[in-house]
Structure 1
Amino acid sequence: MTVIPSGRRVEQAAVNALRTLLQSHDHVVEEISGQNDYGEDLFVTFADAGRVTNDVIKVQVKGGVSWRRSYGYAVPVRQHSETWANGNVPVFCVVFDPETDKLYWANATKQLRVGGQKGRRPRTIKLSGTSVLDANTATDFVNEARAYVGGYRGRNAVLSHLGEMAGVVFDRSDHVLHWVNEFDEQLIFWQRPGEFYATLLHSDLDWDPIPIVPGGLLLPGALGQGLDFGKDFPEELRRSSPIPVISGVILNMPEALWLASCFSTTERFRRGVEVPS
């Protein structure tokens, strides 16, 4: 007599629980054949006000208490690292705990991409014990998932990539400029509309955000003309300083000129913004 493994029953219960929850909110759930382990169990197409959208994710679903960890739950990446990190459709992991009768979720693609930017992709996707997916949190989950999917398109894909690299989240209205210096160090100039300052993110400075303004950019000699470059420094220092500096960060001349160009490009977005006294 053929015996059905108990693990299969728990895994199917996990898939059914997630499908039931999402379908109750009118989202379209399609199960992927389980004959081969491709690393995904479901396609989810999100709906908005009863209409199907173009936002799609894949989901790897696990069931059982064996996935529990001190911080919540874990899903091993195994051979799926590349497809989960760089596929055309982002992958989310969901764990169903039959003892608590709750679902927990995490964005696997985001964790892998962020880890990759830091030099090492994780071998395990971590699901926080607070990341519960139920009727009360389903809307928040859908909104976050759809926003991430949107980051895969056009300019948003570039912003998502740079944000993951620097460990920040850029808004679609932000003005973000990227440059790589001669030492393969990466610099990001970040200007939010309506802010009197910009933010410098530098890979060699561990991506710590540094507020910068044109007046704080010291360009040696007579280069600091226009947009009040270096106005925060005495004229004598501007003419005698041998090196460019901004907010205490020593720059080389190409970096300084790039920042000056960034300030010039985004000057209109700071115009008229009140500077705190």
Structure 2
Amino acid sequence: MAVNEVRALLERHGHIVQEIDGGNDHGEDLHVTFVQSGRRTEDSLAIQVKGGVSTRTRRGHRVPVGDHEGNWRDGSLPVLCIVHDAERGGLFWANATRQLRRATALRKKVRSIVVSGESVLHDANLDRFVEGMRHYLARERQGVGRWADMADVEFAPSDIVKPFENEVYEPMVFWQRRGKPFAVLLHHDLDWEPVRIEERMLRFEPIPLVGDLILDIAEAHWLMGCFRSTEWWRRPVKQGDPV
């Protein structure tokens, strides 16, 4: 019943839904490809569907992760958990991939995906949901979606996002929003907590630093390149400028 409810909602809006054989054993029940103006898009994801009663909590639901953690966090397709609970209002959803990545950043072990009672999915808000998920999937293709999940932030379509990996494979991200006089640094060594940075904070002598954060020389030169190449995007937005 739960799988049919999710399928019916998506198909009413023209999206392509394929049921995965043995989904209950492998952690995904549905493969969904979004459609726009009658044409298939490049945006696909997987969904784990659960009936509501067994997963209920006081404020929502919890979907057990079991042995699916690696696939849900690092698989080729992001995974959503959708719970059907007719007595509580229908369908509720959560981004399992995002929650598991954030837990990794915080060095926490997640036993279940939290599905908020406020994250309701229905006909009236499905278009907005699809738009948000397509933006999420676009950032995945750009290779920066993982870092947004780790830091629990949202990259807007107009944001400049530049990832970098140092010689010991530690990732960091330079994030510039339109018209903001500062950039944001997301860094593995800072547990992905966003840190505001400005070019004047960057030092090369006696050791490379940005603010109080010690860098290696490659990281410092990369940051300098990021600042120089995005200076125009920090200028104040004037009326008539594209946003």
TM-score for the superposition, normalised by structure 2? 0.81
Q: What residue is the counterpart of 2:240 in the other structure? A: none
More deviation, 251-260/15-24: 251-260
Q: What residue is the counterpart of 2:145 in the other structure? A: 160
Q: What residue is the counterpart of 2:175 in the other structure? A: 190
Q: What residue is the counterpart of 1:233 in the other structure? A: none
Q: In structure 2, list runs of 5 or more residues that go unmatched.
A: 238-243
More deviation, 32-41/98-107: 32-41
1:65-84 equivalences under 5 Å are 65-84=53-72
| Cα pair 2:23 2:29 within 8 Å, conserved | no
Q: CA RMSD in A?
A: 2.8
| Cα pair 2:144 2:163 within 8 Å, conserved | no
User: Match for 1:94 among 82, 87, 109?
Assistant: 82
Q: What residue is the counterpart of 1:230 in the other structure? A: none
Q: Give the total of aligned pairs.
A: 236
CA, structure 1 residues 198+138, in 2 after alignment: closer, same or farther (shift >3 Å)? same
Q: What residue is the counterpart of 1:141 in the other structure? A: 129
1:184 to partner: Cα distance:
7.2
CA, structure 1 residues 204+67, in 2 after alignment: closer, same or farther (shift >3 Å)? same
User: Aligned partners of 2:185 and 2:23: how far apart in 1?
Assistant: 49
Q: What's the CA shift string for 1:68-123, capped at 9, x where partnerless?
A: 01231011111212222222222211111142351111111222222223323422
User: Match for 1:251 among 200, 209, 214?
Assistant: 214
Q: What residue is the counterpart of 2:230 in the other structure? A: 266
User: Aligned partners of 2:162 and 2:22: how far apart in 1?
Assistant: 44
Q: Which amino acid in the other structure matches residue 50 of structure 1?
A: G
CA, structure 1 residues 50+111, in 2 after alignment: closer, same or farther (shift >3 Å)? same
TM-score for the superposition, normalised by structure 1? 0.72
Same amino acid, percent of matched pairs: 44
| Cα pair 1:113 1:121 within 8 Å, conserved | no
Q: In structure 1, list runs of 5 or more residues that go unmatched.
A: 1-12, 221-241
Greater RCO (Cα-Cα under 8 Å, separation 6 or more): 2
Q: What residue is the counterpart of 1:170 in the other structure? A: 155
CA, structure 1 residues 195+83, in 2 after alignment: closer, same or farther (shift >3 Å)? same
Q: Which amino acid in the other structure matches residue 166 of structure 1?
A: A
- Find the residue that maps to 1:43 and give its secondary structure: strand
